[in-house]
């Protein structure tokens, strides 16, 4: 099978390449042991709703895509090497310490354009638009806000960038899934449901042993529901209701500890605060 990927390079051109799975077999132990597994991972990540590039990551910090030392663009496995997508150089990478994974997004619809081209959307989206209305085009903050959204077929999608890196023992263990810490600033929501913070990134998936699911399935089962909670938090925050909801939740559950309550909301399905939180979300937002 050949897998095409493409991206706009740092110099603004669209570049297309084919993932070199033979090269990955020669360099990445888990791919060598289970080559068809890599095929299945790539196919699953090509499904609608996902948008991801297969990249080479540094093991030193885990969360950063390797960048080309010559031009700063990303390094992808193509043409028999780990190669810069823009200038085609093959930086001297320490392959044995590098890992592969996807950088991209999982899309959630948060609004649409009406017949006049105006935005109708969730409260947090409307609030973000208000915050950026007075900023001039080209303003860095405005561009940063815009980088989280995509408009396609008159629908507005929330597309926060995440990285999902395969561990060395894959398919055993958990992928390392990270969001940028600034994600929480954009949504103006509390830091919760995270398991580690490494400077610029937050780990959003707990490390558990014994997983065998495809990465795309793990993102669907565990990361998409997490985004749903984040967006409910953001909606409540945008309407000045978040504090009221969390105080009500604390009183209902008899837990006067904000972080405990938040973590319990994010431990969806296990115990605790998720179901009451979604009920209170519906109650409070229907009043406004």
Q: What HEC string does 8-72 produce?
A: ECCCCCEEEEEECHHHHHHHCHHHHHCHHHHHHHHHHHCCCCEEEEEEEECCCCCCCECECCCCC
Binding of residue 85 to Zn ion (CB under 5 A): no
- Whole-angstrom distance, CA of residue 202 vs CA of residue 162: 10
Interface with Zn ion (CB under 5 A), residue from 55, 68, 162, 242: 68
Binding of residue 216 to Zn ion (CB under 5 A): no
Interface with Zn ion (CB under 5 A), residue from 78, 82, 84, 231: 84
> By C-alpha distance, which of 159, 229, 231 is closest to 193?
229
Which CB sits closer to Zn ion, 29 or 72?
A: 72
Interface with Zn ion (CB under 5 A), residue from 34, 44, 65, 71: 71
Question: What is the closest distance, in whole angstroms, from the C-beta atom of residue 199 to Zn ion in the complex?
Answer: 24
Binding of residue 87 to Zn ion (CB under 5 A): yes
Binding of residue 69 to Zn ion (CB under 5 A): no
Binding of residue 187 to Zn ion (CB under 5 A): no
Binding of residue 90 to Zn ion (CB under 5 A): no
Number of residues that bind Zn ion (CB under 5 A): 7
Binding of residue 34 to Zn ion (CB under 5 A): no
Question: What is the closest distance, in whole angstroms, from the C-beta atom of residue 89 to Zn ion in the complex?
Answer: 5
Question: What is the closest distance, in whole angstroms, from the C-beta atom of residue 82 to Zn ion in the complex?
Answer: 11
Question: What is the closest distance, in whole angstroms, from the C-beta atom of residue 143 to Zn ion in the complex?
Answer: 23
By the 10 Å C-beta count (0-12 exposed, 13-18 middle, 19+ buried), 259 is classed as exposed
- Whole-angstrom distance, CA of residue 245 vs CA of residue 96: 49
Question: Which residues of 153-272 form beta strands (DSSP E)?
Answer: 155-158, 162-165, 176-180, 196-198, 201-203
Question: What is the closest distance, in whole angstroms, from the C-beta atom of residue 67 to Zn ion in the complex?
Answer: 8
- Whole-angstrom distance, CA of residue 213 vs CA of residue 174: 10
Which CB sits closer to Zn ion, 68 or 261?
A: 68
Question: What is the closest distance, in whole angstroms, from the C-beta atom of residue 185 to Zn ion in the complex?
Answer: 30
Question: What is the closest distance, in whole angstroms, from the C-beta atom of residue 9 to Zn ion in the complex?
Answer: 9
Binding of residue 70 to Zn ion (CB under 5 A): yes
Beta bridge pairs of residue 248 = none
Collect all residues with Cβ–Cβ distance below 8 Å to 168 and sequence separation of at least 6.
29, 30, 99
Choices 72-80, 117-125, 247-255, 268-276; region in contact with Zn ion by CB under 5 A: 72-80
- Whole-angstrom distance, CA of residue 123 vs CA of residue 232: 9
Neighbours of 219 (CB within 10 A): 27
Which CB sits closer to Zn ion, 36 or 92?
A: 92
* Residues of the shown chain interacting with Zn ion in the complex, contacts defined by CB under 5 A: 68, 70-71, 73, 84, 86-87
């Amino acid at each position: 099978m050949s897998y095409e990927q493409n991206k706009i390079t740092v110099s603004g051109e669209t570049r297309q390449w084919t993932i070199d799975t033979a090269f990955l077999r020669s360099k990445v132990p888990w791919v060598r042991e289970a080559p068809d597994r890599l095929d299945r991972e790539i196919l699953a990540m090509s499904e609608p709703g996902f948008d991801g590039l297969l990249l080479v990551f540094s093991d030193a910090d885990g969360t950063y895509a390797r960048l080309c030392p010559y031009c700063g663009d990303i390094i992808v496995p193509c043409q028999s090497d780990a190669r810069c997508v823009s200038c085609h150089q093959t930086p001297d990478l320490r392959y044995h310490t590098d890992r592969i994974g996807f950088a991209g997004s999982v899309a959630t619809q948060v609004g649409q354009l009406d017949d006049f081209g105006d935005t109708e959307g969730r409260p947090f989206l409307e609030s973000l638009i208000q915050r950026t209305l007075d900023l001039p085009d080209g303003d860095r903050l405005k561009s940063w806000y815009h980088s989280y959204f995509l408009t396609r077929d008159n629908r507005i999608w929330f597309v926060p960038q995440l990285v999902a890196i395969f561990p060395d023992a894959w398919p055993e263990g958990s992928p390392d899934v990270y969001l940028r810490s600034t994600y929480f600033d954009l949504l103006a929501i509390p830091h919760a449901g995270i398991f580690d913070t490494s400077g610029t990134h937050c780990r959003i998936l707990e490390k558990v042993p014994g997983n065998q699911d495809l990465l795309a399935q793990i993102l669907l089962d565990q990361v998409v529901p997490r985004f749903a909670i984040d967006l409910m938090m953001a909606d409540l925050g945008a309407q000045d209701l978040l504090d009221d909801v969390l105080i009500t939740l604390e009183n209902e559950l008899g837990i006067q500890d904000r972080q405990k309550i938040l973590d319990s909301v994010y431990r969806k399905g296990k115990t605790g605060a998720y179901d009451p939180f979604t009920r209170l979300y519906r109650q409070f937002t229907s009043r406004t």
